Amino acid sequence: MVFQQRKLFPAALFLLGLILITVPFTLAAQPLVSPTSAGFGGETRDANYDTLVNALYANGKVATVIEGDKLWVPWFSRSDRCGQSDLQSGAACDSGLTIDFTHNCMVTDEFSQVGILVAMGKDQTRMNQFYTTVKAIASTNGGLPAWRIYRDGNSIQPCRAGINGNCDTASDGTARIIIALFTAAKNPAFTDAIKKEQYGALAKSLSNAFLKYEVDKTCRPSSLGEGQICYWLAAGSDAKRGGLASNDYAYTGYYADAITAMLEACSQTGNRTYCSVAANFTLNYLEASKFNGKDFTVPPGRSFKWVTGANNVPTAECTSSCSPVIWDDADATRAFGMCQANYYAGVIGYQLPLLTAYCDSWHARYSQNTNSIPLQYKPDGSAGTAQSGYFAQGLQALHEAGCTHKSSFAQILDNALGHYALSTGTWDYTSCFGVYHAAFAVRALGMGIGLDLPAFPALSSTPLPTCAPTMEICDGKDNDCDGQVDEDGVCPQPPTSGIGSLPKSCVAGSTAVACTSKSDVTSGVCRTMLWSTVAGDIQVLGCEKGGGYIELYRQAAPSGMSFSACLANGCVTKDQGFVRFIPTTTTPPACTPSAETCDGKDNDCDGQVDEGFNVGSSCSVGVGECVRTGVQVCTASGGTTCSATAGTPGTEVCDQKDNDCNGVVDDGAVCAPPVGVDSFTFTVNPSGSKLTDTSDGTCRTVRYTTTSGEIQAKACAKGGNTYELYLQQAANPASICVKSACVGPATGFASFTA
């Protein structure tokens, strides 16, 4: 059901939250395709989903269980390989120990993707294992999951030095974990109601922490004609502390799942603040794209920072995958999910600003072919070579769901799933059913048959009031709009502590001038300290937390000014607003702040080294077959560079690869013109009669009846003069052939040239 109100977006109203307005297309809560319709292998689509999730778990290496109650998803260097030598090591997982199957790293990328697939499934034990691990990998940032975690045997270490020493988070992983928990809480196949309540409670808690630690809540002007933007998605908690102008503040591929998570939170809690956040994130993405309302454009590169442009409007400036400025082929591509988020908005009866027009412009320009679509785009909307396969068509199916015309969804989905090989339980007969690339096709299937629809109930016609975030104070109200009242020790406690006896210090400005103390009040276990500076006041709250620990919170500070305010040996700064520590009686030595550079030192006196430079994060250089991966390292000039060296270009041949590393696949007329699937002659053994023969010019499906039963296969053009043949229904011992390729009960896939 959809509710109508007029669309009003003045700045003051937008600060309070977007009003619910009619979606341009009404969506009943019905699946895009029937779960009982025919899928692959003679199964229904619903049974196909179970088959794929079970196959993901089948080899015991990709999705493993620790001590019977925790899910662990090891981090492999490639998603189609899962040998011990394929585990991430070196700078990517620098434990100082040998990396093996009981000592390795996990990242919330793949872990959260498995969580979403499990949340739509029928095995609640697997979901309980995911839930237990989410709690075990909590960071120091409001309990949000740490983004990179180490397994030391049966011990899980979310903030281990050399792995994730600053206990950072990743907002895309956080968002997908929230999606998984909310989805599982409403999964009718799960029968343990108490556990389902726990999933929902954790999802709500993480949604609150997400807004506090991974979102900048400052209203800024926009060029989109939709009022101010008041919620700005950061790449993670450390990026938020670094500010919008810090390198890699935002990642192109992170917005889609963040929007979906906030829509799900809005739908299940009734709190319209989350819907407003989803709308603001949409405008983040479209502002970065410089979208004019009709022509398809995209944010610049894999990641970007915001710089102040004309009329103080933030402008996105590429910081990764910038030579040339183009999406990478794995991370930024997740922005296809922007249109999936638009689909969910329609399901709950909420309109995301400008997004339907954006998705339709993308569809009209690039998604007419159901068997291929470009994955890499430049800011002006131009694209690289169209690609096909389970990754490309899995993403394309998610995209198609949120466009005005969805008639191609089923065909695109089937093209993606056609790459799954029943005989090996992997995709395209690779050695391993990995997570990263395959998860999009499986997720598209689950979404398509409506497995997550119960998690997106329609919004009530009487919305809860939205909330304008301000600093939390002790007044019995939720000032910062995080669902909690008077949290973080803002209210005086009974006097039980000696925190008031600890020494304090404060320096500020580029010359490290001492601050002037204005007040210092100890009330019970908490102490509030207020200093004045030439630029404004600094207020810091310190509270005892048990076990000898103290937590220090920055409550107010002049914008942009470097400072270091300390209680004993714990300090907060302009970039780090929280610290947890065991106090000593030694006052930290004086420090003269300067601009932070990448040199292994704490230049700006904020207690962190090389923050904002993402040292140790994954990176890649080169294009095509010359791509090599490494990590970000400091340079002699104080900047960063990727530790990898691009490979040596080869000679271009017709193999659907960019051999000469010029960014173009099979260029230079190395491939003969395609013959065309319609010209092929199919043969069957034993001989039989043709029942059906259909073609869309790219793929052709034939079905025969033989003395052994009915057999069906599909042949598809894959670029150049290369074709692939897929077995869709087997009849033992019958086989079906075209050119030099044959498929049958023993071989479900073959490729050939013509």
Q: How far, in whole angstroms, is CA 272 from its chain's centroid? A: 23
Confidence of residue 470 (pLDDT cuts 50, 70, 90): low
pLDDT digits (tens, 9 = 90+) for 139-152: 989 889 999 999 99
Mean pLDDT, residues 96-105 = 91
- Tokens matching residue 208: 């609150």
Token pair in block for residue 40: 């692959």
| Average pLDDT score over residue span 607-635 | 76
Q: How far apart are CA 30 and CA 24, in angstroms?
A: 17
Cis check: omega of the bond before 24, within 30 degrees of 0: no
Sequence-ordered alpha helix ranges (H) in 571-643:
none
Query: What are the extents of the domains in the chain?
Result: 11-455, 492-612, 677-753
Q: How far apart are CA 205 and CA 131, in angstroms?
A: 13
> Which one-letter DSSP state was computed for residue 500?
G
Query: How far apart are alpha carbons 14 and 82 in whole angstroms?
Result: 48
Residue 275 has pLDDT above 90, yes or no: yes
pLDDT at position 14, please? Answer: 37
Instruction: Give the other-Cβ count within 10 Å of 494's Cβ.
Output: 8
**Radius of gyration of the chain measured on its C-alpha atoms:** 27
Q: Is-cis flag, bond preceding 324, omega within 30?
A: yes
> Which tens digits make up the pLDDT trace of 674-713?
567 888 899 998 888 888 888 888 888 888 898 888 888 8
- pLDDT grade for 17, boundaries at 50, 70 and 90: very low
User: For residue 435, what pLDDT is reported?
Assistant: 94
**What is the average per-residue pLDDT within 634-650?**
81
What is the average per-residue pLDDT within 61-77?
Answer: 93
Averaging pLDDT over each range in 106-120, 639-653, 656-670, 676-690, which range is the top one? 106-120
User: Which of 3.60.15.10, 1.50.10.10, 1.10.645.10, 3.20.190.10 is the CATH number of 11-455?
Assistant: 1.50.10.10
For 208-239, the pLDDT digits (tens) are 999 999 999 999 999 999 999 999 999 999 99
- Whole-angstrom Cα distance, residue 728 to residue 737? 13
CA distance 25 to 584: 62
For residue 689, what are the β-bridge partners?
A: 705
Q: Are 327 and 333 in contact (CB under 8 A)?
A: yes
Look at residue 619 in the predicted model and tell me its pLDDT. 78
pLDDT at 639: 82
- The mean per-residue pLDDT over the stretch 589-600 comes to 71
Distance in angstroms (rounded) separating the CA atoms of residues 188 and 51: 19
How far is Cα 341 from Cα 399, in angstroms, rounded to an integer?
9
Alpha carbons 151 and 158: distance in angstroms, whole number: 9
- Confirm whether pTM is higher than 0.85: no
Peptide bond into 686 cis (omega under 30): yes
Q: Please, what is the end-to-end C-alpha distance for the chain in angstroms?
A: 52
Q: What is the Cα–Cα distance from 229 to 222, expressed in whole angstroms?
A: 6
DSSP symbol at 322: B
Mean of the per-residue pLDDT values of the chain: 86
DSSP string, 229-279: B--EE-SSHHHHHH-TTSTT-EEGGGHHHHHHHHHHHHHHH--HHHHHHHH
Percent with pLDDT over 90 in the chain? 51
Could you give the CA distance from residue 349 to residue 28 in angstroms, rounded to a whole number?
9
Is the pLDDT score of 740 beyond 70? yes
More confident residue, 667 or 350: 350
* 748 CB-near residues (< 8 Å, 6+ apart): 421, 422, 423, 726, 727, 730
